[in-house]
Structure 1
Amino acid sequence: MTVSNTPTPFTIHPARSPHDVAATAALFRAYHEWLNIDLSFQSFAAELASLPGKYAPSAGGEILLARVDDEVVGCIALRDVSGVVADYTSRNGSGSGRRSKIAEVKRLYTLPAARGLGVGNALVTAVMDVARRRGYDEVRLDTLPRMPAAIALYKRAGFEEVDKYYDTDLEGTIFMGCVLDKEG
Structure 2
Amino acid sequence: MRAFHIRPARDTQDMASARRLFRDYQGYLNVDLCFQGFETELNTLPGDYAPPVGELLLAWETEDRGEGLFLAGGVAVRPLYQKAATEPVLVPGACEMKRLYVYPQYHGQGIGGRLAHQIIACARQLGYQRMVLDTLERLDEAVALYQRFGFQECAPYYDNPIPGVIYMELDLTAV
Shared fold, TM over 0.5:
yes
User: Would you say the 8 A contact 1:78–1:127 is kept in 2?
Assistant: yes
User: Would you say the 8 A contact 1:103–1:138 is kept in 2?
Assistant: yes
> Which amino acid in 1 is paired with 2:38?
F
* Among candidates 164, 167, 174, match of residue 175 of structure 1: 167
Higher-strand-fraction structure: 2
**Corresponding residue for 1:151?**
143
**Corresponding residue for 1:67?**
60
Shift of 1:100: 4.0
> What is the alpha-carbon distance in structure 1 between the residues aligned to residue 104 and residue 157 of structure 2?
30
**Corresponding residue for 2:125?**
133
> What is the alpha-carbon distance in structure 2 between the residues aligned to residue 134 and residue 84 of structure 1?
19
> What is the alpha-carbon distance in structure 2 between the residues aligned to residue 168 and residue 181 of structure 1?
27
Q: Which runs of 5+ in 2 are unaligned?
A: 63-68, 86-90
Q: Equivalent residue of 1:101, what SS?
A: strand
**If the length of structure 1 is used for normalisation, what is the TM-score?**
0.84
> What is the alpha-carbon distance in structure 1 between the residues aligned to residue 2 and residue 119 of structure 2?
21
Shift of 1:84: 1.7
Q: How does 1:4-153 map to 2 (within 5 A)?
A: 8-58=2-52, 60-69=53-62, 70-81=69-80, 83-84=81-82, 100-153=92-145
> Which amino acid in 1 is paired with 2:128?
Y
User: Would you say the 8 A contact 2:138–2:164 is kept in 1?
Assistant: no
Query: Which range is displaced more, 120-129 or 44-53?
Result: 44-53
> What is the alpha-carbon distance in structure 2 between the residues aligned to residue 144 and residue 114 of structure 1?
20
**If the length of structure 2 is used for normalisation, what is the TM-score?**
0.88
Shift of 1:17: 1.2
> What is the alpha-carbon distance in structure 2 between the residues aligned to residue 121 and residue 17 of structure 1?
25
Q: Which runs of 5+ in 1 are unaligned?
A: 1-6, 89-98
1:83-113 deviation per Cα after TM superposition (whole angstroms, max 9, x unaligned) = 428x59xxxxxxxxxx641110010111111
> Which amino acid in 1 is paired with 2:57?
L
2:157 counterpart of 1:165: yes
> What is the alpha-carbon distance in structure 2 between the residues aligned to residue 9 and residue 138 of structure 1?
32
User: Would you say the 8 A contact 1:10–1:66 is kept in 2?
Assistant: yes
Shift of 1:164: 0.8
Shift of 1:171: 2.1
> Which amino acid in 1 is paired with 2:72?
V
Between Structure 1 and Structure 2, how many residues are aligned?
A: 164
Shift of 1:72: 1.4
> What is the alpha-carbon distance in structure 1 between the residues aligned to residue 162 and residue 97 of structure 2?
17
User: Would you say the 8 A contact 1:8–1:117 is kept in 2?
Assistant: no
Higher-helix-fraction structure: 1
